[in-house]
Amino acid sequence: MPVSASTLTDLLARGYAALPCPREVRLEPGETPLDESWCVYSGDGVSRDNMALESLSEGLSAVFGKPPARGGGRGAKTVRLEIVPGTVAAGTAEAISAQGYRLDVTADAVRVTGNAPAGLFYGVQTLLGLLRPAPGGSGAMELPRGRIDDWPDRELRCIHYDTKHHQDRLEAVKSMIVRAAAFKANAVVWEIEDKFAYERHPQIGAPGAFTAAEMKELAAFALRRFVEIVPIVQGPSHLAFVLKHPEFAALREDQANNYMLCPSNEKSYELLFAMYDELIDATPGCRYFHVGTDEPYFLGDGVDCGCRARREKIGAGGMMAEFIARCTEHLKSRGRTVICWGEHPMTAVDVPRLPAGIVNAVFQSVEMSEAYRRQGIRELIYSPVQGARPLFPEYFHSPDPAKPAPGRLEAIFNTVAHGPARPFDPLGVLLAGWDDAGLHLETFWLGWAAGLSWGWNPAAPSPAEAAASFCRTFHGPEAAGMVEVYRLLDRLARFWTGAWDLAPSRRGPSYQRRWHPRFDRTLSLPRVPDPENLDNGSFFNARYAALLERAEAAAADCQRASELLLENAGRVRRNRHALEVFLSIAGLVEDHVRTLRALSAAERELDAARADVGNVRYGSAREHLARAAQIARGAAADREATFRNLRATWEKSRLEKGCSVDGKTFLHVQDDTKNHPADWTPDLGYLVKPARELGLEAWAERLDAAAAEFEKRHPKEQKGWKPGGDFAEDG
Ligand SMILES: [Zn+2]
């Protein structure tokens, strides 16, 4: 049942934010202050190197500036950690029960009891998330007295981490894992593509790709925090990152297209399994492996390879099921459970061809789910954090004002908390953060955290409370006005997306998918005037009047967002990088506003020049022309400066996109089928590609040339004229 925005959990009613929201909360009157004098005591089952202990120590250190003392003698106030099987969630499945914990807060003691190590770790995350500054400004924190019993509704809670078109730095990946674990994610499904240095096929890994040793380090780092890395190696489609290399072109289903490999070619499996094996070796201790399998548009098209004959016999869906079965055989022998996108072209009739025990990561329909259940295949509830929109997810606003729909946050709630997959006892949830449009990782956390939260506890909170609690926990209790920042950025991204004309793409339509048109964002620049009479066919201000009006509203939003972000940059202690990234996004939109204003002003200069010709004020006309060119050049220079700032900010946490490392250069060949904005350019330039393609600099040059020609033809003011004075027209 939908939860109204006006509902309020007991914790928030007491002024405490918690995401996920604990399942059973019994609060008592009074708060317990916690300060640096508190000790941490490891009780039953908690070894000195226990991760919950380490996490608590780190968390308290970050608050009090020094780690808490271990032990706790007579009279000392203690946070006691212990593991006592069966403390909470009795009767649930073992995998769920192991994640359960109890948090008791009394006047002078805090006790976290996990059913198992994972549960204890989650209890500590809840404790750290609840801490809020105690009144009086002493620097002490406080917790609400009472008892929390908590365990997850769904066993597996995945964030989908997509690095198709960028690579985060090693430390940034670790930070992502720590934060995901704090929101009680226990799997990072990593669409790693070419960001892994495959040793047997060194062409595939992009320059700077993570080595096997680095992957092992990340996998161990994650596992210690009860997070499994689940590598994705796509197949048979979405393989442009492999098939773009001439060495692998022979494996293409269609020689003219780098998107898909031939599933009838034995060498396809040799390559895929070699890639699987390296990633399996680099992620020891992880249980799952994702084999992709979405959008196989050309499955069965190949004639000579035998695919066409197979499709005629068992259909494209049957072929896909065979492909998954084949991959599963290999992965099972390596001890991994297969996860796939079990979608079109498979239908319920194809499901019996699939091996039991695999996991479908994307709920399709009741009919398919029934088939999956009969086949012994469990499912994940799939919900994307973002669609295809550039810059920032549509958390609050439907991307298309013509078709009103709930924003992403509400859609995630509807899908995860009470969607149609629920009755089929899903294994877990998967919150996708696609890299297609090239958004920054920091923009996904609100959706990831909220979705993970409803995977843990579908009963609460409401989407509105989730947003508020997220901002309190993610940005810290000092943060103010952050929900408004997310709303503003959402609105700004919507403005930017619609602040262009759409022209047929220079790339042409998608290969063999002419029903899937491609567009480029562009604007018509003011006309360069005729050098004879400076007729400029003025149109820009009239044609774009409504857009220019929206741009002024966006300018106000940019200003408000920037002010809030700058204020918070001086307040918050957590996740400050997100604030910088958000400022850079507001900056990019602001730059587009500046460009629109510049084009409007430039046309007004051209209009004035034209009027001057009518009044035979040639000198003044030339000045207007020069100003128009100067305005255009200024806008281009501003754009490049904005972009340089954005790049510097984004690349604090990312490698330089498309970089060369140790003499290895990045081979940039676009996907022949997909047209992901982030794939438009090897570097971050895709973010300013539409603005650059306006050609403001070239426009200014053409204007200079027209002005020079005008000067040649009209070297002087006409004699006997008083500029601006009265004159009688002929006739
Ligand atoms: Zn084939």
According to the 3-state scheme, what is the secondary structure of 239-278?
Answer: CHHHHCCHHHHHHEEECCEEEEECCCCHHHHHHHHHHHHH
Q: Which residues contact 579 (CB under 8 A, 6 or more apart)?
A: 475, 565, 568, 569, 572
Beta bridge partners of 344: none
Rounded to the nearest angstrom, the distance between the alpha carbon of 435 and the centre of ligand 1 is 28
Residue 223 CA, ligand 1 centroid: distance in Å? 39
Tell me, in angstroms, the distance from the centre of ligand 1 to residue 261's CA. Answer: 7
The pTM for the full model equals: 0.95
CB-CB contact of 688 with 619 (8 Å):
no
CA distance 575 to 448: 15
User: How far is ligand 1, taken at its centre, from the CA of residue 280, in Å?
Assistant: 27
Neighbours of ion ligand 1 (CB under 5 A): 253, 262, 264, 302, 305, 307
> What's the CA-to-centroid distance between 370 and ligand 1, angstroms?
31
Q: 671: CA distance to ligand 1 center in Å?
A: 19
**213-222 core/surface letters (b: 16 or more CB in 10 A; e: else):** eebbbbbebb
For 461-528, the DSSP string reads: --HHHHHHHHHHHHS-TT--SHHHHHHHHHHHHHHHHHSSEEEE-TT-SPTT-TTS--EEEE-PPPPP
Give CA–CA dist 101/120, Å, rounded. 6
CA 196 – ligand 1 centroid, Å? 27
Give the pLDDT score at 719: 53
Question: For residue 302, how far is its CA from the centre of ligand 1 (angstroms)?
Answer: 5
- Continuous H helices in 375-481: 408-418, 445-456, 463-474
**Can the peptide bond before residue 345 be classed as cis, meaning omega within 30 degrees of 0?**
yes
Q: Which amino acid is residue 684, in one-letter code?
A: L
Beta bridge partners of 382: 430
Q: What six digits make up the tokens of 536?
A: 């400029």
Integer angstrom CA distances of residue 281 from 215, 336, 475, 533, 609: 9, 11, 36, 73, 70
Find the 234 Cα to ligand 1 centroid distance in Å.
Answer: 16
Going from the Cα of 264 to the center of ligand 1, the distance in angstroms, rounded, reads 5
**Quick check: 317 and 346 in contact, CB under 8 A?**
yes
How many angstroms separate the CA atoms of 294 and 190, rounded?
15
Task: Look at residues 492, 453, 358, 441 and name the one whose alpha carbon lies nearest to residue 160.
Answer: 441
Phi, psi of 76 (to 5 degrees): -75, 145
Question: How far away, in angstroms, is 670 Cα from ligand 1 center?
Answer: 22
Element housing 552 (H / E) = helix 545-569
For the chain, the C-alpha Rg in angstroms (whole number) is: 30
| CA 352 to ligand 1 center in whole angstroms | 23
Distance 312 CA to ligand 1 centre (A): 13
The stretches in the chain having pLDDT less than 50 are 1, 720, 727, 730-731
CA 299 / ligand 1 centre spacing (Å):
8
pLDDT score recorded for residue 547: 98
Give the C-alpha separation, 427 to 605, whole Å: 64
CA of 268 to the centre of ligand 1 (A): 10
| Cis preceding-peptide flag for 399 (omega within 30 of 0) | no
Distance CA 720, CA 502 (A): 50
254 CA to centre of ligand 1 in angstroms: 8
Question: Which of 493, 607, 599 minimizes the C-alpha distance to 545?
Answer: 599
Cβ partners under 8 Å of residue 591, min gap 6: 638, 639, 642, 691
What is the pLDDT at residue 724? 52
Both tokens of 670, joined, read 């676009």
- Token pair, residue 307, equals 């695919």
When the pLDDT of each residue in the chain is averaged and rounded to a whole number, the result is 94
Q: How many CB atoms lie within 10 A of CB 252?
A: 23
Compute, in angstroms, the gap from residue 436 CA to the centroid of ligand 1: 27
Q: What is the pLDDT of residue 509?
A: 82
Q: Exposed e or buried b for every residue in 517-531, given b needs 16+ CB within 10 A?
A: eeebbbbebbbbbeb
Q: Cα(297) to centroid of ligand 1, in Å?
A: 13
Q: Ligand 1 centre from 241 Cα, in Å?
A: 19
Centre of ligand 1 from the C-alpha of residue 379, in Å: 29
% the chain with pLDDT above 70? 96
Token look-up 């604990």 returns 22
Cis peptide before 236 (omega within 30 of 0): yes
CA distance 327 to 235: 9
122 CB neighbour count, 10 Å cutoff: 29
CB-based contacts of 594: which residues, under 8 Å, 6+ apart? 635, 638, 639
What single-letter amino acid sits at 407? Answer: G
718 closest CA partner among 605, 611, 608, 613: 613
Ligand 1 centre from 303 Cα, in Å? 7
Domains and CATH numbers, the chain: 24-150 (3.30.379.10), 156-469 (3.20.20.80), 497-509+520-713 (no CATH)
pLDDT of residue 319: 98
pLDDT score of 1: 46
CA gap 132, 478 in Å, rounded: 9
Query: 229-243: b or e for each residue (b if 16 or more CB lie within 10 Å)?
Result: bbbbbbbbbbbbbbb
pLDDT tens digits along 566-608: 999 999 989 999 999 999 999 999 999 999 999 999 999 999 9
Q: What is the pLDDT of residue 717?
A: 63
Distance 300 CA to ligand 1 centre (A): 6
